[in-house]
Amino acid sequence: MRDVAIIATAQSKHVRAASTLNEVELIQPVIHEAIEQSGIGRHDFDFTCSGSSDYLAGQPFSFVMTLDAVAAWPPIAESHVEMDGAWALYEAWVKIQTGQADTALVYSYGKSSPGDLPRVLSRMMDPYYEAPLWPTSIDFAALQARVAIADGVTSEAQMAEIANRSRNAAASNPFAQLTSSPEVADLLSSEYLAEPLRKHDCAPITDGGVAVILAAGDKAREHCTRPAWIRGIDHRADGHHINFRNLCVAPSIGIAAEKAGVGMGPVEVAELHACFTHQEPIIKAALGLDESTVVNPSGGPLAANPMMAAGLIRLVEVANRIHSGEVSRGVAHATGGHALQHNLVAVLEGEG
């Protein structure tokens, strides 16, 4: 495998509704900032890959217009995934592995604000048996939370602690949408949204985007003083129908973690794509993390959850901490689908 690193990153300031910006206007400054930071010329990337969702944009081929944000003239080698940007990064990483590229620009974005996001996400379910019932993403997550509590994986009190810890941690994250939390006792006395989930258990609805620059080998060292090397990366899917799955466990995360080599060394920091509080212990267990790992120091998706970008942001938050020298080894997790169905795990390391 070729050595590939994240050498530059940028994010938008994540907000509930970027009402005055369209997707191009939202992502263009973010892409520009990442390119500037890398010191690579804007026409010098060997490959560009992005992730977004037509259903969020309310438009077929919505990514076509967003191509305007990357100055694809003269023409570029480019691709797009209808998945979180973490998978766009994966495609770029594969491209670099083939030897057809040494550098890549990756970006993703989501504007959830124009629609009713939990209802929109119900369209992601099986079209014959589930989608006709219009269960929202929160209804679906609540089913998983119920099972997790019943099986002793977590409790409402622990979930409130996770919400409190995450949002207070986000106070130091300049991009976060929610940056403080009421006390745990106050959280627990609030109304249920979908029992056992309360509002604090759910990630906020967010508009935002993220951009990442990848480079291989010496190219990475040339453009970054402390590259965040992708030592392992893998993604796996579980089945869709919840009656075929034990919702308390995420076997696909375990497989991806093993393939990515999570257990090959200490995990100083982990950024987990847990959009609901009860998912954090499920992901931690599947990754085999113990209490020595700092989880979601950025605040995680509970502090800002731009759809299609929140997974890639997990890699960015780990990479940033490696770039700064704060940590030497960390794990990033990204998810797609309902109830942790599709999962990507990456191990990032600094040198020396």
Interface with another protein (CB under 8 A): 1, 22, 48, 53-55, 58-61, 63-65, 67-68, 72-83, 87, 90-91, 94-95, 97-100, 120-121, 123-128, 130-131, 234-241, 244, 251-252, 255, 336-338, 341-342
Longest Cα–Cα distance of the chain, Å, equals 58
Establish whether the linkage from the previous residue to 114 is cis, with ω within 30° of 0.
no
165 versus 245: smaller Cβ distance to another protein:
245
Least distance to another protein, CB of residue 351, Å: 23
What letter does residue 204 receive in the DSSP assignment? P
Least distance to another protein, CB of residue 350, Å: 24
Residues in the chain: 352
Residue 270 forms beta bridges with which residues?
Answer: 295, 331
17 versus 157: smaller Cβ distance to another protein:
17
The closest of 9, 81, 58, 68 to 38, measured between CA atoms, is 9
The closest of 318, 352, 350 to 332, measured between CA atoms, is 318
**Distance in angstroms (rounded) separating the CA atoms of residues 173 and 185:** 25
**Distance in angstroms (rounded) separating the CA atoms of residues 308 and 293:** 26
Q: How many CB atoms lie within 10 A of CB 248?
A: 18
Least distance to another protein, CB of residue 327, Å: 27
Least distance to another protein, CB of residue 66, Å: 10
24 versus 294: smaller Cβ distance to another protein:
24
55 versus 182: smaller Cβ distance to another protein:
55
68 versus 161: smaller Cβ distance to another protein:
68
8 versus 233: smaller Cβ distance to another protein:
233
CB 234 within 8 A of CB 337: no
Q: Enter the tokens of residue 68.
A: 């305007």
Helix (H, G, I), strand (E, B) or coil at 103: strand
Compute φ and ψ for 17, nearest 5 degrees: -155, 115
Least distance to another protein, CB of residue 292, Å: 28
Least distance to another protein, CB of residue 71, Å: 8
19 versus 172: smaller Cβ distance to another protein:
19
71 versus 171: smaller Cβ distance to another protein:
71
49-82 burial, b for 16+ CB within 10 Å, e for fewer? bbbbbebbbeeeebbeebbebbeeeeeeeeebbe
